[in-house]
Amino acid sequence: MAAAMNSLYLLRGPICIRAFNFIKSINQTAQIQHNAFIRRPLQFRRVLSSIRATSDEELAASAAAANADSGAPTIFDKIISKEIPCSIVYEDESVLAFRDISPQAPVHVLIIPKQRDGLTQLGKAEKRHEVILGQLLHAAKIVAEKEGISDGFRIVINSGASACQSVYHLHLHVLGGRQMKWPPG
């Protein structure tokens, strides 16, 4: 009996190792199943939703581009005429700066020329537009000061469908209040 107990005692180490390995293999199997059934579909859903969001923006941009040169008024004309409300940040005789309805940063302000004068997009700018283009940039600097983001801000101008422009009245986006990333999307 003592000899049997002795050999059991000696076997205890290998038995423990085998038991440990067995439990480890169950754990690994569970982890693989977790990855396959929980994590992968989650990652897959995230990728899918980002593709959907991108194509929504691209679809809206290409729909807007179809009317780009029609000369039809845009939503910004209604903002200028105060037909629809907006939150004005800065205004002078030439430009209007107001908060974007769908902000992409803590500070997201749009600056537009009050007279579109053919400036549906930056790609249509002509020599005669030099003054207003300078005024828009100068207004961006004033907006950055007013919003307290002079130490770091970004100006974006989307020009054309492949840049996802959705409103065909030239506008500058002034973005700030968070760390900007590079390259942009």
Catalytic residue list:
171
On whether the CB atoms of residues 77 and 169 are closer than 8 A, the answer is yes
Cis before 183 (ω within 30): yes
Nearer to ligand AMP, 47 or 75 (CB): 75
- Nearest distance from residue 94's CB to ligand AMP, in Å? 19
Distance between CA 113 and CA 109 in Å, rounded? Answer: 14
- Nearest distance from residue 118's CB to ligand AMP, in Å? 17
Distance between CA 149 and CA 37 in Å, rounded? Answer: 45
Element of type H or E holding 6? helix 2-34
- Nearest distance from residue 158's CB to ligand AMP, in Å? 4
Nearer to ligand AMP, 77 or 146 (CB): 77
| CA–centroid distance for 114 within its chain | 27
Nearer to ligand AMP, 1 or 63 (CB): 63
Distance between CA 100 and CA 141 in Å, rounded? Answer: 17
Contacts with ligand AMP by CB under 6 A lie at: 75, 84, 86, 100-102, 110, 158, 164-167
